[in-house]
Amino acid sequence: MNMEVPEGHPRAESLRIREKLIRGFEMGVVAKAGLIAHGRGEAFDYIIGEETIEPAMNAIRAAVALMLTAEHPVISVNGNTAALVPKEIVELAKLVNAKIEVNIFYHSPERVNAIRRLLEDAGAEEILGIDDQYKTTIPEISSMRRYVDVRGIYKADVVLVPLEDGDRTEALVKLGKKVIAIDLNPLSRTAQWATITIVDNIVRCVPLMCDIARELRGRDRQELGRIVEKFDNRENLKLVIRHILERLSELSKKGIYLPEVSEVFKEMRE
Amino acid sequence: MNMEVPEGHPRAESLRIREKLIRGFEMGVVAKAGLIAHGRGEAFDYIIGEETIEPAMNAIRAAVALMLTAEHPVISVNGNTAALVPKEIVELAKLVNAKIEVNIFYHSPERVNAIRRLLEDAGAEEILGIDDQYKTTIPEISSMRRYVDVRGIYKADVVLVPLEDGDRTEALVKLGKKVIAIDLNPLSRTAQWATITIVDNIVRCVPLMCDIARELRGRDRQELGRIVEKFDNRENLKLVIRHILERLSELSKKGIYLPEVSEVFKEMRE
C-alpha cells in the first residue's frame, strides 16, 4: 500500500512514521498486532502533544544513567522497534555497551530472521535471542516472550523494553531486574511496573537517549548513581498524567477549533 | 495469526474485537491502515472506560431520530465497519430505511468485493458504491473517497459515517449534508465537524442504535424533530471531554494500582 502523505497535512510527521511501520510490516518485521499497537501509541502521542515532554526527558536521563551503571544491560527489540528505529537502537547499544536481544510475541523463524537482517543492515554486530543454543525460558512469562537468551535478558540486571506488554514487564521486575520501559500510555501495566518509564514516542526518544548517553558516558559511577537515585518513577508518572490532563482541558477549551457549523452554512450560501 | 485470548485477561473483550478485525484483514476487507486506526480507537476507548457513556447515549438517540426523519439517509461503510459490525449495520439500515454504501480510502476492486460479500452474507440486499454506472465524484474530497454513488451519498441529506477521516466529514458538511459520526476521539476533526458525534465504540453503539430505532420508529416526525433539535453536539462533546478528564484524574489518583516496587522486592526475598 502506498500511503501518500499530503503536504501540509496536520499529522504529516505521524503519517510518515506510520509509513515506515507499514514498510516493516511488508518486510515481515512487524506483526499485524504490531500495527494495532502502533495505532494505540499514535492516540496517546496525540494526547500528549507529539512532543517529548519534560517528565520524559527526566526519565530518559535516569534511564541512560542506569544503563551506564549496569553490569549486563540489554535492549530487548521487537518488530515495531526494529522497524522504526533500527539504527538508533544499534547506536544506543554501542554507547551504553548493551547487548541487543530479539524478543517477540508472535514468533516465527521468518520473522526473527527479518528482524535480524534489519538490525544487521543497521550495523548490529551481535544479536542475541536468535541462536537456539543459548535459548532458555523464563517460566513466569506465559507467551512466546518467555524464550530468552542466557547471555542476554536471562542474566541482565537492566533491560530496556521499548513498546512492551504488561505481563513481561511485571515478570522481569519480579525476577529482580530493573526494567526501563518506553510506553506512550502512562496508565499501562508496563508503565506502572517499570523501574523507569519513559512516556514518549520511540522515534523521538531513542535518538535523545543517544545524545544523553554521549553526554553522560564520561561521568563517574557515583554521579550516575545519584542521577538514578534522584529519579522517582511514580512521581514522574504523575507529572505525565498532569500534563495530559492540562493538555486535554486546554484542547477542549479552545476546543472546537472550527467555525460554528451554522457559520459554515452561511458562508456556503453567500 | 491465531491470537489466543487468555481467560481472565484484563482486556479480554478488547482482544476479542481485535481478533475479529484481524480476520477481516485476512479476508481483504480491512486495510493495513485500518489496523492502525483500530489501535487508535482502542486507546481512546480505554481512556473512556470501554463503556457507552451518557453523552454517547444522548448522541445515539439524536442520531437515530435524525436518520428516521431524513429523506435519503445513507450509511457509509468502510473496511473496519464491515469487519466489526456487518449484521448490525444491515439491521440498522433496515430499521431506519437507509441505504448502505461502500466508501473506502484504500480502494481496489478486490477489497470492494470482499466488503460486498461480507455485507451480503450479513443480509444486505442492496449495496451502493460498487456499480461504476452510478459513480460520480465529490471534488471537495481529495482521496479515493470522493467517488460516491449518485443514488447514495451524492444525494443523501443525512450520512452516517462510522470511523471516518476528518477531510471527508468536513467536505460532506460543507456540501450541506448532515453527518453523524461514530468516533472514539472527541477531539478529532471528524468529531468536531460532524452534526452529531457519537463518541463510542462501534461494536457497542451500532446495536444500541438498532434498539433505539426500534423504540423510535413509530413516533411522529414532530416528536423526532424535537429530539434532534434538543441535542447540542458542541455541549455534548464537552460532556465527553469532561468524562475523560474525570476518569483520567481518577485513574491517576487511585493510579498506581500495583504494590510499591520495593514491596515486591521484599516479597521476592521472603
Hey, which residues does B239 pair with through a beta bridge? none
Q: What is the DSSP letter of A128?
A: B
pLDDT in the model for residue A167: 79
SS3 annotation, B55-116: HHHHHHHHHHHHHHHCCCEEEEECHHHHHHCHHHHHHHHHHHCCEEEECCCCCCHHHHHHHH
**Rounded to an integer, what distance in angstroms lies between the CA atom of residue B17 and that of residue B83?**
10
From the number of C-beta atoms within 10 Å of its C-beta (0-12, 13-18, 19+), residue A270 rates as exposed
pLDDT in the model for residue A9: 58
pLDDT in the model for residue A139: 82
The answer to whether residues B119 and B89 touch, using CB atoms and an 8 Å cutoff, is yes
Look at residue A270 and tell me whether its pLDDT is greater than 60: no
pLDDT in the model for residue B165: 72
What dotted CATH number matches A54-241? 3.40.50.12640
**Rounded to an integer, what distance in angstroms lies between the CA atom of residue A181 and that of residue A237?**
12
pLDDT in the model for residue B59: 98
B262 touches chain A (CB under 8 A): no
Question: What is chain B's Cα-based Rg?
Answer: 20
B104 chain-A contacts, CB cut-off 8 A: none
A147 vs B121 pLDDT, higher one? B121
Do residue A241 and residue B248 have CB atoms under 8 angstroms apart?
A: yes
Which residues in chain B (50-89) have CB-CB distances under 8 A to chain A?
Answer: none
- How large is the average pLDDT for residues B215-243? 94
- How large is the average pLDDT for residues B135-157? 88
Q: Which of A42, A233, A265 sits opposite B36 (nearest CB)?
A: A42
| Amino acid at residue number A182 | I
- How large is the average pLDDT for residues A152-181? 91
A10 chain-B contacts, CB cut-off 8 A: 189
Q: How confident is the model at residue A86 (pLDDT cuts 50, 70, 90)?
A: very high
Q: How confident is the model at residue A264 (pLDDT cuts 50, 70, 90)?
A: very low
The answer to whether residues A72 and A97 touch, using CB atoms and an 8 Å cutoff, is no
**Minimum mean pLDDT range among A223-227, B16-20, B136-140:** B136-140
CA-based nearest residue in chain A for residue B30: A32
Nearest Cα to A92, choosing from A124, A114, A49?
A124
Compute the mean pLDDT over every residue in chain A, rounded to the nearest whole number: 88
- How large is the average pLDDT for residues B26-41? 93
Q: How confident is the model at residue B65 (pLDDT cuts 50, 70, 90)?
A: very high
Compute the mean pLDDT over every residue in chain B, rounded to the nearest whole number: 88
**Rounded to an integer, what distance in angstroms lies between the CA atom of residue B159 and that of residue A7?**
28
pLDDT in the model for residue B9: 58
B245 touches chain A (CB under 8 A): yes
B144 touches chain A (CB under 8 A): no
Show the CA angle centred on residue B55, arms to residues B54 and B58, nearest 5°.
90
Burial letters B227-248, b for 16+ CB under 10 A, else e: bbeebebeebbbbbbebbbeeb
SS3 of residue A161 by DSSP? strand
Across the beta sheet with A73-77, the strand order is A99-102, A73-77, A158-162, A178-182, A196-198
DSSP A146-160: GEEETTTTTT-SEEE
Do residue B237 and residue A255 have CB atoms under 8 angstroms apart?
A: yes
Look at residue A62 and tell me whether its pLDDT is greater than 90: yes
Nearest Cα to B39, choosing from B15, B6, B3?
B15
The answer to whether residues B35 and B28 touch, using CB atoms and an 8 Å cutoff, is no
B5 touches chain A (CB under 8 A): no
Provide the H-helix boundaries in chain B. 12-26, 32-48, 54-69, 79-84, 86-96, 109-121, 166-174, 189-193, 202-216, 221-230, 233-254, 261-269
Pairing of β B127-128 and β B99-102: parallel
**Minimum mean pLDDT range among A2-6, A134-138, A154-158, B265-269:** B265-269
| Amino acid at residue number B147 | Y
User: Residue A235 corresponds to which cell in the numbers above?
Assistant: 512521581
The answer to whether residues A192 and B256 touch, using CB atoms and an 8 Å cutoff, is yes
Phi, psi (5° rounding) for residue A196? -135, 125
**Rounded to an integer, what distance in angstroms lies between the CA atom of residue A86 and that of residue A69?**
24
Domain boundaries, chain A: 54-241
